[in-house]
Amino acid sequence: MTSQIGFVGLGIMGRGMVKNLAEKNHSVTVWNRTPEKSEALKNDLGVNIAPSLQSLAKTCDTILICVSDTPDVEAVLFGEKTTSTASNLSSTPLEPASRTWAPAAPARPPSS
């Protein structure tokens, strides 16, 4: 079974990461606050576009977030504070049994 990767944030770094995933034949669904960036990747790489963050969360096994700073991360996770109908990931119920944290990276050896 192929897992579905969700990706939020299609800036310079995010676009490159999605391109690498798609070129390695991963199934990728994207969402971006600027829909034109999502459309460009769909046309260039054949990725799927989620109509909302809730849809992305419901259809993807793994979600990667690549946005510029803390307020943007908070907006993706918890919604914009200025609107009551904001799209965010926190309003999407997830089944705990099917969602797990990625394993911790091994500790780096001390630099010399």
Give pLDDT, residue 75. Answer: 82
Residue 43's Cβ-count burial label (10 Å; 0-12, 13-18, 19+) is exposed
pLDDT of 41 higher than 80: yes
Strands 48-49 and 4-8: unpaired
**Cα torsion for 20, 24, 25, 27, to the nearest 10°?**
-50
Number of DSSP helices (H) and strands (E) in the chain, helices first: 4, 4
pLDDT digit string, tens, across residues 82-97: 443 445 565 555 444 4
Give pLDDT, residue 83. Answer: 43
Distance CA 55, CA 86 (A): 13
Is the model more confident about 21 or about 95? 21
What percent of the chain lies above the pLDDT cut of 70?
75
pLDDT of 112 higher than 70: no
pLDDT of 100 higher than 50: yes
Distance CA 87, CA 54 (A): 7
Q: Which domains occur in the chain, in start order?
A: 4-97 (3.40.50.720)
